[in-house]
Amino acid sequence: MAITRRDFLSRAATMVPIALPAFASLRAFGEKTVAANDFLRVSPRDHRYFELSDGRPYIPIGLNMIAPPRDGGLEGMAAWLKSLSTNRGNFIRIWLGNPFFDVEHARSGQYDGEKAKRIDALLELARRHGIRVKMCIESFRHFGTRSQSWSAKPLHLIANGGPASDIADFFDGQRSRDQFKGKLAWYQNRYGDDPVVFGWELWNEINAVAGGDYMAWTEVMLPELHRLFPRNLAMQSLGSFDTDRVRAQYKRLSTMAGNDVAQVHRYLDLGAQLDVCRGPTDVLAAEAVRELRAFRPDRPILLAESGAVEPRHTGPFKLYEKDKAGIILHDVLFAPFFAGAAGPGHIWHWDFYVSRMDLWRQFGRFAEAVEGIDPPAESFEPLFLEQPPLRVYVLKGKTTVLVWCRDSRNSWQTELAEGRAPETIRGLSLDLGGVLASLEGMRVRTFDPWENRWSDAKADKARVALPDLTRSIVIRIQR
């Protein structure tokens, strides 16, 4: 999480929501809606993927969209959601602790029903766009003892009428735990059994909080989420996987009982300790998924936050303004899914990068690449090949093989930092002999995500002739 979120979070407190009746006009946009019984679940056919109540597959295509824009309120958020939905997105993540949505803003343990109308309005808006919402419940990090004023919530201190003497007492003390369970019950009373909710996330990057046994607290609260929201997913999140010291925390959370989704946050960060976080975006994204797969391969994995930041999360990546093609977003979307995740990666800088650079089309390109695919039915086996100049990410299924090829000579560094245009690769063929013995009798097509174009491909034995490609290409092989 980039710490310069503070500017966005602080200004959100002054935003005013639009009136609920204004959303009636959204029906004219022709969105698909979230039906009353379309609950999301971990697929019983393959626990690494998601599906809906009726067994239809669900791939969460979307991004973090924590709060509305500076001046637009929910009308501005409506414009973002329309852009996402138009490009076949079906997922967002919000922060309920953001000042715009925070119902517990005046006094600890007191919840503002009027403020909750903003949440009501957002969920109705998402429902009409066919978008599910991950509800991240808390995000504060301290009680006013640290420099990040945006992440302080001192109202929980005993001196301010709250239940806790300090952060450790908030997580470990029974009074604080009981009060937090009461907050979950309040949300359940208002939003329980709602299929528009993708799931409930206890905290944003809980290891960024200083003090208390937050992992033991998580082990207590996840079962409470399951008790109160039996038809929604329950999960927790940790900070960016950019150093060796968080590996043990990620292993514990990824294998924790009741944590339905193994989530990972990782950014392109030139100040990160791990070398992988300073390299190509597809590599750092795919490697994050592989790390979690090694901990527990039978659980859905999501790259739940990603993107690019200035060193050590001191701001959004300065080279975003040069990324008019959206190569960073493209890699964040494609690499995790083709490395075995339950969906594409979810970018963080929804306002500064995606909206500002008008990159919504990238979601549609990913959606087109996986159109009609049923991941639980395929039981995909993720594989990785290197055939210079390509890095080749493979999902080998029962009836379908999906391949994403990434030009290893092109990256954010060559294209954005050095200003070198991507080269067109011509006359290349891909050897898939390590994946399939023969392509005889199979239909082989390629999809160019930069031109949004499908083409039939020629295959000879286990080799596919690729069309001219720039940056990347997708291959779909079906029996």
- Name the band, by pLDDT with cuts 50, 70 and 90, for residue 13: very low
- Overall domain count for the chain: 2
Same domain, 351 and 388: no
Segment 452-456 shows an average pLDDT of 98
Same domain, 341 and 193: yes
Look-up of token digits 């295959």: 459
**Phi-psi category of residue 53: left, alpha or beta, with phi > 0 → left and psi -120 to 50 → alpha:** alpha
Residue where a domain terminates, one of 357, 379, 401: 379
Same domain, 392 and 366: no
- Name the band, by pLDDT with cuts 50, 70 and 90, for residue 12: very low
Same domain, 361 and 445: no
Using the predicted structure, report yes or no on whether residue 109 has a pLDDT greater than 90: yes
Please tell me the distance from the alpha carbon of residue 381 to that of residue 400, in angstroms, as a whole number: 11
Please tell me the distance from the alpha carbon of residue 440 to that of residue 479, in angstroms, as a whole number: 9
Query: What was the pLDDT predicted at 30?
Result: 34
Same domain, 286 and 412: no
Same domain, 338 and 310: yes
Query: What was the pLDDT predicted at 149?
Result: 83
Residue where a domain terminates, one of 334, 356, 379: 379
Among 208-212, 218-222, 399-403, the minimum mean pLDDT is found in 208-212
Look-up of token digits 């950019």: 242
Sign of CA dihedral 477, 374, 396, 472: positive
CA proximity to 109, closest of 15, 177, 168? 177
| pLDDT per position as a tens digit, 286-319 | 999 999 999 999 999 999 999 999 999 999 999 9
Same domain, 266 and 410: no
Segment 167-196 shows an average pLDDT of 97
Segment 250-266 shows an average pLDDT of 98
Q: Which domain holds residue 119?
A: 5-379
Backbone angles phi, psi at 478, to 5 degrees: -135, 140
Please tell me the distance from the alpha carbon of residue 457 to that of residue 476, in angstroms, as a whole number: 10
Mean pLDDT of the chain, nearest integer: 93
Residue where a domain terminates, one of 379, 399, 434: 379
Same domain, 420 and 275: no
Same domain, 290 and 393: no
| pLDDT per position as a tens digit, 69-91 | 988 899 999 999 999 999 999 99
Same domain, 316 and 395: no
11's tokens: 């200004």
Give the CATH number of the domain where residue 432 resides.
Answer: 2.60.40.1180
Segment 179-195 shows an average pLDDT of 97
Query: What was the pLDDT predicted at 15?
Result: 39
Which residues have CB under 8 Å from 122's CB, separation 6+?
74, 77, 94, 101, 133
Give the CATH number of the domain where residue 289 resides.
Answer: 3.20.20.80
- Name the band, by pLDDT with cuts 50, 70 and 90, for residue 338: very high
CA proximity to 28, closest of 82, 90, 89, 106? 82
DSSP-derived 3-state class of residue 112: coil
Using the predicted structure, report yes or no on whether residue 27 has a pLDDT greater than 80: no
- The pTM assigned to this predicted structure is 0.94
Same domain, 374 and 388: no
In the chain, the percentage of residues whose pLDDT exceeds 90 is: 89
Same domain, 33 and 56: yes
In the chain, the percentage of residues whose pLDDT exceeds 70 is: 94
Using the predicted structure, report yes or no on whether residue 6 has a pLDDT greater than 90: no
Q: Which neighbouring-strand residues pair with 127?
A: none
- Name the band, by pLDDT with cuts 50, 70 and 90, for residue 220: very high
DSSP for 61-106? -EEE--S--TTTHHHHHHHHHHHHHHTT--EEEEETTSTTT-S--S
Query: What was the pLDDT predicted at 71?
Result: 85
